[in-house]
Every structure is written in structure tokens, then in C-alpha cells.
Amino acid sequence: VELVIKAHRLHRFFVNPLIPSQYLSLSDCDLGIENPEYSAWETQDQLLLSWLQSSLSASFLARVIGCNEGTTSTLRNMKKGDCPINEFLLCLKTFVHSLNSIGDPVSEHDQLDILIEDLPVDYESFISLINSKPDLFSFDEIESLLVAQEA
């Protein structure tokens, strides 16, 4: 793991990381407006965490998972923020894959619910379209639609 961390210059995320403030002011906190730098850091942090978790053996990972606040709640608390939709989807899928690999599977229906819940308000028309279809879209179909909408 250390070789990959050094090769990708990720060492700064592991040793004395500089974590930006989640909110730039008290009014931003009251309004729920996150600092874009914090959102970008959180996305990178979750990608690194899911990568590290997916590189561990299942028996060891079960011990490590218990050391955080809970992976399912973390998955439900993910937010797109200002990152591109591709990065957000990659982070979500990587995290879901990590959960699946340790025997805590996330159904496609739950994945879609989490995805829809975590999209910002500028995707409201898209969310309405998805919710109006009686039979569910697959995650891949929604991913294609989201990428097309962002483009």
C-alpha cells in the first residue's frame, strides 16, 4: 500500500492531513452550505478509504470496519458537492463495492435511493423523472443519464 501511496503522491492525505473547514462561516453552517474545498477533500478521502478497504482481506477488513462510524451510515451521508458527477459516481460505486466485498451487500435499489438522496437541488428535475417511472431504472442507466445531463 505504501508504494502506491507514494507513487500517486497521496502521502499528504495520511500524514498530518490538512482538512479544510466544512463551513466557511456560521451562516453557511446554518444554511447547510459546505466549503467546496471541504467537499473535494471529503470525496478524495472517501475514495482513498474505499480503496484501502478493498485492498484488505475480508477477515482483516471486518476488524478495521468496526473502527469507524459505520460504513453504511457513511455511504448514506455522501454528498456530491461540487465534484463532477463522474467522480461522485465512482466514489459511490467504489464504496458499494467495498461493502459488498466484506459481506455487507448494498442492493441496487438501495444504491439508487442513496444516489438520488445525495444529488443536489439542481438535479431536482432529473430526480422527478426517475421517481415518476414505475419500474426502476438500473444504476447503469441512471449513470448514463446523469453524465449526459451534466454534459
Q: Specify burial of residue 99 (Cβ count, 10 A radius: 0-12, 13-18, 19+).
A: buried
- CB under 8 Å to 68, separation ≥6 — which residues? 74
Same domain? 46 vs 82: no
Our count of domains for the chain comes to 2
Same domain? 49 vs 110: no
pLDDT value at position 67?
46
Same domain? 47 vs 86: no
pLDDT value at position 36?
93
Here the cell at position 54 is 478493498
pLDDT value at position 77?
60
Distance (Å, whole) CA 101 – CA 85: 24
Same domain? 90 vs 143: yes
Same domain? 82 vs 115: yes
Q: Is-contact 1 11, C-beta < 8 A?
A: no
Same domain? 56 vs 84: no
Same domain? 81 vs 25: no
Domain range for 132: 73-150
pLDDT value at position 79?
67
Identify the domain boundary among 65, 97, 118: 65
Same domain? 88 vs 24: no
Identify the domain boundary among 65, 89, 117: 65
Same domain? 83 vs 130: yes
pLDDT value at position 100?
72
HSE toward the beta carbon, residue 70, CA cutoff 13 A: 4
Identify the domain boundary among 13, 34, 65: 65
pLDDT value at position 8?
79
pLDDT < 50 positions in the chain:
67-70
